[in-house]
Structure 1
Amino acid sequence: MFPKKNILSAAGILVATLLASACSSGDDSGSPGTSGSGGSSSPATVSIEPADAHGMNPTTPIVVKAANGKLTEVTVTSAKGKPVAGKIAPDGLSWTNNEVLGYGGSYHVVAHAQGTDGKPVEKAGDVTTITPKKEANANLIPAPSAVKSAGVGVGQPIVFSFATPVKNKAAVEKALSVESSPKQEGGWYWIDDKNVHYRSKEYWQPGTTLTVSAKIYGVDFGNGVFGAEDRTETYKVHDSWIGKADGNSEQMQIFHNGQMVKSMPISMGKDATPTHLGPHVISDKQANYTMDSCTYGVCPPDPKAYRSNEKFSERISNDGEFVHENPNSVGQQGSSNVSHGCINLNAANAQWFFDNFGLGDVVEVTNSGGPQLPLWDLYGDWSKSWPDWQKGSAL
């Protein structure tokens, strides 16, 4: 039997040994779930998103992901054997295509990865893209090529015209944009199911650059129609030219960048065929033009029908209103309104007007006795107040 003192000493040694063991940071290589090197070791898993997708939108990216390892190579090949460009992320955990897929395409995906266990893994899959019933192009008015050198006037709306009706107007409108420099407030208005116009709150500032984009590729227009391709164009707004035509005075005052530079006698529409009221925007100009009322449905034997060849003609509406030379009304110019709705000028003034006014420039008509220029009547856009214009958006 040990003395009491020795028993206490032995107990103290045991406690000290246990404490020393508990505070020790020795090798724990035998712990379950760990390797001898202190890290986990597992086979890689690879996923392809969307997985075996059939009929996906071509703008949806193919994404390949790796877990418990890193991607070493990914190839995506079309049915014709053409590779699709893509890139593995710097961390090696994902790959995404950076080349847009095509409509009605089939693509084969093969991914290679290496797990933390050092072993290679392969994953393959297939995806197909939708085949539209019809593809829609974003046709721009005015045609950028037609105004590349001259630019457009301060009243010019930007028009996207589609060959087929647009059902999903909000989706399409979201894909359209007009960036103005300097910045000016503007908005879209759907004239009908095929045409959407963009105008600023006020006339464009002279010298403005307009960058117009339609990011419509892959956009669902509805009824099986999808956007054909994206496009971006640039317009330049030239100096401000505004004609103020007054039916009471039978004069048209010409303002260049806000300053009146000329006044010329005119003859506007007679009582039976009055010129429309409000701002008109020039949409076409021809040095020689045959005016035929049949083009807008007024044909002989209607007493309002006419057909004549005119010089220096600039269209200000789509139903037959022009600013042009008319030698037959020179005697009435400045005193009475006798035309079929056009604004008549003498030869010298007509040529001067033709030389200085172009697409997008404005003719504001007052006191004509006619109705307001309709919104649809290319371009009746400025007949709408800004609050009413904003109501024409699909968003």
Structure 2
Amino acid sequence: MWRAVRRGSGRHGVGRDGAGRHGSGPAWRVPAVLAAAAVLVLSAAACSGGASSSAAGASPAASAGSPTSPLPPPGPRVTVDPAADVNPTAPVHVHADGGRITGVHMTNASGAAVTGTLSPDGATWTTSEPLAFGRTYTVVADAVSAQGAPTHLQSTVATLAPKQTDSAAVDPGGTDVGVGQPVAVTFSHPVTDKDAAVKALAVTSDPPQPGAWHWISSSQVDYRPQVYWKPGTTITLDGKLYGADLGGGAFGAKDVHETFRVHDAWVAKADGGAEQMQIFDNGALVKTMKISLGSPQFPTHTGTHVISDKEPSVVMDSATYGVMPGQPGYYKETVLLDERISNDGEFVHSAPWSVGQQGTDNVSHGCVNLSPADAQWFFDHFGVGDVVEVTNSGGPALPVWDRWGDWALPWAQWQAGTT
């Protein structure tokens, strides 16, 4: 049995290196087996002591090195899409990959909240209202994983700032109209991408009738049916123009929406050869009037005219079409019971000065002259969208671009889309 040896004892003492003055002999050595056992005990004690310290709240460095203390599970990955140059009509999505969303708060610069909806699985939140151009929105989102690990995200969404925005005016607007009335959309600037503009415009009719869009100019596009609208038709224009890319850096400024109804089919057929006008109501002849159309010097345009306006009186001035004061044929006077049938100065109106020529000679400056009594009857029965078809006047065809000259084009040419 080995005896314990106290350090520093012995007859000859212990040197600085722990050996006797005459060297180390067997009597002064700790047995190798005992030393190894001591090291093993110390090592085991160190491992045991480390585990106890971690369970009690050891330092992160000690815990990180411990095989029995795994890292906490990560929260879900939360993303916002899209985030930059966002079209304000495009929905913004907040998505939690590997978890569910517990809350989203999206606000504009003034703090007003943007509404949104959460998907049934809780993984995606989507805006439910359009945004504004050129704005930055703040998005604060929270999500949690299936294991309960949270994620908090704060981000921003920036909408595009267009070079220009285009508004659009609709004609007619919310009124009863005649069977010849086209639907016109006029943009505030020339449109570069006409296909995109037309794609954003939808016309429905009840009962359904075939129709098509046609560009009258670079900023005006009209819709008309193949033949006159059926009496009683309800027509609705739904223009999703807000945010529509119209080309050249221009975007639609706002949506447009109009609904109007077609009344009875009032059609007047003015024959310059017979100097008379027949009036049809829903296809039935109800009245015949004596007329005087434009003289050979100022012939009335032939073709289908659509009434665009009516006024109890209008000051008519020949200077508007080039006949100036002092020149032969100059006039400027107030004319009663006026219904405009083209922007070239053509009206159906009362003309007491030409009653003697009505029915025999064409002496006007392009208008349809009626007696005061016939003009009053016409004014009482005809209005915006009603039709005046002029034949045998000796004049040129009404241009398609002259207000509602849309019917000047055959259907196949109208469907082509551009003049």
TM-score between both structures, scaled by the size of structure 2: 0.80
- The code of the aligned residue for 1:107 comes to Y
Q: Distance in 1 between matches of 2:150 and 2:198?
A: 48
- 1:384 paired with 2:416, answer no
Q: 1:85 to 1:298 in 2, by over 3 A?
A: farther
- The code of the aligned residue for 1:111 comes to A
Q: Distance in 2 between matches of 1:96 and 1:213?
A: 24
- The code of the aligned residue for 2:167 comes to N
Q: Distance in 2 between matches of 1:306 and 1:213?
A: 45
Q: Distance in 1 between matches of 2:323 and 2:244?
A: 40
Counterpart position of 1:90: 120
TM-score between both structures, scaled by the size of structure 1: 0.85
- 1:341 paired with 2:371, answer no
- SS state at 2:278 partner: strand
Alignment partner of 1:46 out of 78, 92, 110: 78
Alignment partner of 1:232 out of 257, 262, 275: 257
- Contact 1:138–1:214 (CA<8 Å) still a contact in 2? no
Deviates more, 1:123-132 or 1:91-100: 123-132
Q: Distance in 2 between matches of 1:100 and 1:61?
A: 8
Counterpart position of 1:134: 164
Deviations 1:310-365 (A, max 9, x none): 11110000001100110111001001101110010001000000000000000000
Q: Distance in 2 between matches of 1:166 and 1:302?
A: 42
Larger Rg: 2
Q: 1:221 to 1:296 in 2, by over 3 A?
A: farther
Spell out the pairing of 1:350-389 with structure 2 (5 A cutoff).
350-389=375-414
Measure how far apart 1:142 and its partner are.
2.4
- 1:193 paired with 2:211, answer no
Counterpart position of 2:66: none
Deviations 1:77-124 (A, max 9, x none): 111111110111111010000011011111111211111221111122
Counterpart position of 1:259: 284
- SS state at 2:177 partner: coil
Measure how far apart 1:298 and its partner are.
4.5
Q: 1:350 to 1:223 in 2, by over 3 A?
A: same
Q: Distance in 2 between matches of 1:325 and 1:142?
A: 26
Counterpart position of 1:16: none
Deviations 1:242-293 (A, max 9, x none): 0000011101000000000000100001111111111100001111111123
Q: Distance in 1 between matches of 2:353 and 2:218?
A: 42
- 1:70 paired with 2:95, answer no
Counterpart position of 2:61: none
- SS state at 1:285 partner: strand
Q: 1:99 to 1:368 in 2, by over 3 A?
A: same
Deviations 1:111-143 (A, max 9, x none): 111112211111222111122333222201223
- Contact 1:187–1:393 (CA<8 Å) still a contact in 2? no
Counterpart position of 1:307: 332
Q: Distance in 2 between matches of 1:92 and 1:285?
A: 59
- Contact 2:216–2:418 (CA<8 Å) still a contact in 1? no
- The code of the aligned residue for 1:140 comes to V
Counterpart position of 2:8: none
Give the unaligned 5+ runs of structure 2. Answer: 1-72
RMSD between aligned residues = 1.5
Spell out the pairing of 1:1-395 with structure 2 (5 A cutoff).
43-50=75-82, 52-53=83-84, 55-144=85-174, 147=175, 151-303=176-328, 305-392=330-417
Give the unaligned 5+ runs of structure 1. Answer: 1-40
Q: 1:225 to 1:379 in 2, by over 3 A?
A: same
Measure how far apart 1:302 and its partner are.
5.0
Q: 1:393 to 1:375 in 2, by over 3 A?
A: closer
Counterpart position of 2:63: none
Q: Distance in 1 between matches of 2:329 and 2:248?
A: 42
- Contact 1:169–1:221 (CA<8 Å) still a contact in 2? yes
Deviates more, 1:198-207 or 1:116-125: 116-125
- The code of the aligned residue for 1:242 comes to V
Measure how far apart 1:301 and its partner are.
5.0
Q: Distance in 1 between matches of 2:323 and 2:201?
A: 37
- The code of the aligned residue for 1:45 comes to R
Measure how far apart 1:44 and its partner are.
1.4
Deviations 1:8-60 (A, max 9, x none): xxxxxxxxxxxxxxxxxxxxxxxxxxxxxxxxx7631112111x41x221112
Query: Runs of at least 4 residues of structure 1 off by over 6 A?
Result: none
Q: Distance in 2 between matches of 1:127 and 1:172?
A: 27
- Contact 2:350–2:371 (CA<8 Å) still a contact in 1? yes
Measure how far apart 1:168 and its partner are.
1.2
- Contact 1:42–1:68 (CA<8 Å) still a contact in 2? no
